[in-house]
Structures are given as C-alpha cells and as structure tokens.
Amino acid sequence: MLPYKSLIQVDRNTPVTLHIQVCNSFIVLITNGTLQPSDVLPSSRMLAELIGINRNTVKLAYEELISQGWAESVERKGVFVLSGLPIQPKIKLPETNKNSRSQEAFIWTNQFENSVPGDNFQHTVLTIDDGFPDVRLAPIDPLMREYRSLSRKFFGKNFLKYGSSRGSEHLRHSISNYLSNTRGLVVPVEDMLITKGSQMGIYLAAQLLLQPADYIAVGTSNYCFADDTFRYSGANLLRIPVDGNGMDVNYLEDILKHKKIRAVYTIPHHHFPTTVTMSMERRLKLLNLAKEYRFAVIEDDYDFDFHYDNKPYLPLASIDHNHNVIYIGSISKTFAPALRVGFMTGPPAFIEAASSLRQLIDKQGDTLLEEAFAVMYDNGEMERHFRKSLKIYKQRRNLFCQLLKSDFEGIIEFKVPEGGLGVWSNFDQSIDLIKMSENALKKGLYIGNGNFYKNESFSTNALRMGFASMEENEMTAALGILKTILR
C-alpha cells in the first residue's frame, strides 16, 4: 500500500473543507501517475486512521471522487480508480537548471534571457533609487475619497462595466485641458489614449511602427526598457550620440542620407539616464528631418512637470505641425509609480489603431481610478500637488547636490540637473559599482550598481541617484553610509 499518511496531508486552518482536500489529493495522485486505473483505494476506516480524520469525511471524499469521474465503487470490493481513465506515466521531477531547455514541457521562444530585471522598491530598506517621486507626498487620501465616492453613486456603477479601450473620456478631457494649459499642446479628446503608464505607450507605438529588420534611432545612452521593447518588435537599434544638448541631430542627419529609419525614440526633456535637455535648435531640426524623411518621433516626456530653474521647453509635440510626433506621458512618474496611468497622443488614425491593439493586451484600464484622477485634475488637487512637490523636490535637489559636492569631491562628478528627480553621477574609475552596491546593502542602504544604464554602446561608470523620494534625514543617512563605503 502507498504511504498515504505522508501523501495525503490535511490543513484544518484553511477554508477548504477536509473532504475536498482529501479528494483533491487523490486527484493529484491519479494525474501524476502514482495511482493508475483500477488501483484500489484504502478503506474509509483505514484512511481515516492514517491521516487522523473522521471516517465519514473520507466517505464524503470518495463520493466526491466518484461524482467527478475519478473513481468507481464496486459492491463488496471497495472503491477503485476509474478503470476507463487513460494510463498516466509517473511524473519525474524537472531539472532545476533554468538554462536547460531540453526538459521543458513545450517549445517556446524566450527573447528575455538577457533582459535586465526591474528593481523592487517595495522594501523598507533605506534607498537611493534612480529618480522616483516621494509617494508620501501624493494626495492618496483625496484620490481614494473620490474613488469611493464614485463607486457609491448610482451613475458610478456604470464605471464597473466595460468601457472604451481609449480610457475614461472624463480623464482624457481633463488631461487634454492640462496639456493645453501647461504645454501649449492642443489635443482633441478623441486623439488621446489612456495607458497603463508610459511603458505601455512605448510598447503600443513600437508594435504599430516597427517590423522585423526595421531601424529605429535611439540615444547611445537610453532607457533600457524602451530598447528592449524595440528589440522585441524585431527592430534594429541605431545609436545616436547624446551630449550636453541632447541627441546629436546632425549625426542622425548623416545616417538618414544612406539608411531608411522608421522612427526616432527620444527623451528631449530630462533625458534618461543623463538628465540633459535637448536644445531648441536640435528640436526644430529633428522635426524638419522627420517631415523630410517621413519617420515618426516617439517623444517620451515622462516628467515634464518637474523643472526647477526656468520655464521648461515646450514638447516637440507642441511645435510639430506635420503630425510626426507620438507623444507619451505619465501620471505614474509624477504621482506614484504603482498607480499605472499614462497617456499617448498622435495622429487620429494612429491612436485608433493603438486603441485596437490595446484591447488585445488589456481590454481597458481601471475606469474608476481614471475617473477619480479626472476629478483630481478638475478640482485643482493635481495642480496643487505638482506645485507643492516642485518646491520640496527643488529643496531636496539643492541639498543632495550640496552633499555630493562637499562629501564626494574627487569621487563623484555631476552637474546640477535643471529638472527631473535624479542626478546623473559619474564615479571615479577606481570604484567598482557592483561591489559598492553589495557593501551598501550590508549596511542597510540599497543603491543600484549601474548595470541598468549599460548597453552595447554605453558603459560609463555612472548611475542615476534619485533625491526626490528621500527626506532630509534619510538623505543625510544614505549619503553618510555611501561616504563610509567609498572612503
């Protein structure tokens, strides 16, 4: 007889009834080949004694097995595994080596073996991230209040039904007004798509624009998840140098003379990761090239709202009169990263196609959350949050840069960023960033190791150091630990 005492375990602390637990255990034994068709099951009395439950419970489990078609009762002989079931080979434990593909149950294509995994910042360790907002500043209580209020109202129940794949019309209208007031960008409501953050917008644009073997121009230093998205579409990346004035458009022009490209991906405002801003001269030339050579410009404007020292440049989309620009923005990057709300605008037919594609990935977003954000825009709560955050982040930037200058001279080189939430920090070549990151974690500080910013053309000994998410005491403590390690 099989060792049922160890094979069938019951847990009295779960909501699943005991007889269903026993029934499910037998199903597993049948499907993994331990029990074969026509095998006899132990008597109800014997099994009850072995696993320490009531005999009637075992009887109920057997009745359930029979009713589901896994077993049959033979008068005066007992309960047997159903004789008509197909014979199951006994399952062998798979190899634990993740690089071994020979043992996998089915054939599939993995294009992500070399992808850099995203960091998990939902821990409580003191952290220097690469430039995220302080979620403690976000007006979550007013947002949740509007969310609950909408859910209780009669008309709010409609938001629990399927809606438009373009997202809440109310939110699209509110963001349209906000873009017009802050960036001079006039966007009809029907030409806007609400996304799950800017990353979804990048993915949708890539899938619609790029075919295998197409070329897309990106910065030598660039947002690596955008690079991975374009590679996933089958496209080839053309690296364009990025200097203190942003992407080198003259270099791009030389390439265009002998190579056809489908799109340019650019972050003209606070380039990732270096934080530089593209000059107006280059912006205008890029738009002229897009018109002449008929390529799309994917403009990722993830943190327009945080600019400290002067009025920010208008986005490319605001001065694009030929409809070459696909404009992508995010509420997540300015409010709270885990609240996945972003937007994308572009030519009407393109947005219509993107909406159709979005339905295949994710039918729609969280309409109630989108409606709650719309109310927050309409009643001025979002604008108040941006004003308050901008003031606090500027103070934190100044303190952070002051500490870097005084405590890390000769170790870290940087320029005070005009905007954004992080400082691009170049470390002395003698410093091993991987070991630095490991040693910092041992002392209670999480800081990246720089690998996230590297690619086949860019391998500077540098990383972005975010200041916005740390209060003054946290900043002092974090940089104090880093100073101890590096000194």
Residue type, 436: M
Q: Are residues 212 and 228 in the same domain?
A: yes
Asked if the structure places residue 115 within a domain, the reply is no
DSSP state of 212: T
Average pLDDT over residues 450-461: 90
Give CA–CA dist 200/203, Å, rounded. 5
Give CA–CA dist 129/455, Å, rounded. 20
Structure token pair of residue 334: 């300015």
Q: Which residues, at least 6 apart from 226, have a Cβ–Cβ distance to it below 8 Å?
A: 202, 218, 265, 300
Q: Are residues 367 and 393 in the same domain?
A: no
Which pLDDT value is given to residue 124?
64
Structure token pair of residue 52: 């320490």
Which pLDDT value is given to residue 121?
62
Which pLDDT value is given to residue 158?
75
Q: Are residues 460 and 357 in the same domain?
A: no
Q: Are residues 185 and 322 in the same domain?
A: yes
Q: Residue 482's domain spans which residues?
A: 126-134+384-486
Give CA–CA dist 441/435, Å, rounded. 10
Which pLDDT value is given to residue 366?
82
E strands in 66-153: 71-74, 78-81, 126-128
Q: Are residues 334 and 393 in the same domain?
A: no
For 250-301, how does the pLDDT look when each residue is reduced to its tens digit (9 = 90+)? 999 999 999 999 999 999 999 999 999 999 999 999 999 999 999 999 999 9
CB 283 within 8 Å of CB 268 = yes
Tokens 């409010």 map to which residue?
A: 335
Which pLDDT value is given to residue 340?
86
How far is CA 280 from each of CA 186, 283, 418, rounded to the nearest angstrom?
20, 5, 15
Asked if the structure places residue 116 within a domain, the reply is no
Cα-Cα end-to-end distance for the chain:
67
For 87-143, how does the pLDDT look when each residue is reduced to its tens digit (9 = 90+)? 888 766 555 555 555 566 677 777 777 766 666 666 667 899 989 889 898 888 888
Which pLDDT value is given to residue 76?
86
Structure token pair of residue 486: 């590096």
Give CA–CA dist 446/123, Å, rounded. 10
* 464 DSSP β-pair partners: 424
Asked if the structure places residue 109 within a domain, the reply is no
Asked if the structure places residue 88 within a domain, the reply is no
* Torsion angle (degrees, nearest 10) of CA 472, 476, 477, 482: 140
Where does a domain end: 348, 379, 410? 379
E strands in 48-137: 71-74, 78-81, 126-128
Which pLDDT value is given to residue 151?
77
Asked if the structure places residue 220 within a domain, the reply is yes
Q: Are residues 470 and 357 in the same domain?
A: no
Q: Are residues 370 and 390 in the same domain?
A: no
Q: Are residues 314 and 461 in the same domain?
A: no
CATH of the domain at 426: 3.90.1150.10
Band the pLDDT of 362: cuts 50, 70, 90. confident
Give CA–CA dist 266/240, Å, rounded. 10
DSSP 290-345: HHHHT-EEEEE-TTTT-B-SSPPPPPGGGG-SSS-EEEEEESTTTS-TTS--EEEE
Lowest mean pLDDT among 56-65, 159-168, 205-214, 448-457: 159-168
Highest mean pLDDT among 95-99, 208-212, 368-372, 456-460: 208-212
Asked if the structure places residue 469 within a domain, the reply is yes
CATH of the domain at 19: 1.10.10.10
Q: Are residues 298 and 407 in the same domain?
A: no
Asked if the structure places residue 181 within a domain, the reply is yes
Q: Are residues 243 and 365 in the same domain?
A: yes
Tally of structural domains, the chain:
3
Cis peptide before 273 (omega within 30 of 0): yes
Asked if the structure places residue 252 within a domain, the reply is yes
Give CA–CA dist 479/234, Å, rounded. 42
Q: Mean pLDDT of all residues in the chain? A: 89
Q: Are residues 280 and 346 in the same domain?
A: yes
Q: Are residues 305 and 412 in the same domain?
A: no
Of 15, 35, 13, nearest to 26 (Cα)? 35
Task: Report the SS3 class of residue 477.
Answer: helix
Taking every pair of Cα atoms in the chain, the longest distance, rounded to a whole number of angstroms, is 93
Which pLDDT value is given to residue 109?
74
% the chain with pLDDT above 70: 94
CB 253 within 8 Å of CB 289 = yes
CB 445 within 8 Å of CB 296 = no
Which pLDDT value is given to residue 57?
94
CATH of the domain at 256: 3.40.640.10
For 389-437, how does the pLDDT look when each residue is reduced to its tens digit (9 = 90+)? 999 999 999 999 999 999 999 999 999 998 889 999 999 999 999 999 9
Of 208, 193, 202, nearest to 224 (Cα)? 202
Which pLDDT value is given to residue 119?
65
Give CA–CA dist 196/338, Å, rounded. 10
Hey, how many other C-beta atoms are within 10 angstroms of the C-beta on 430? 8
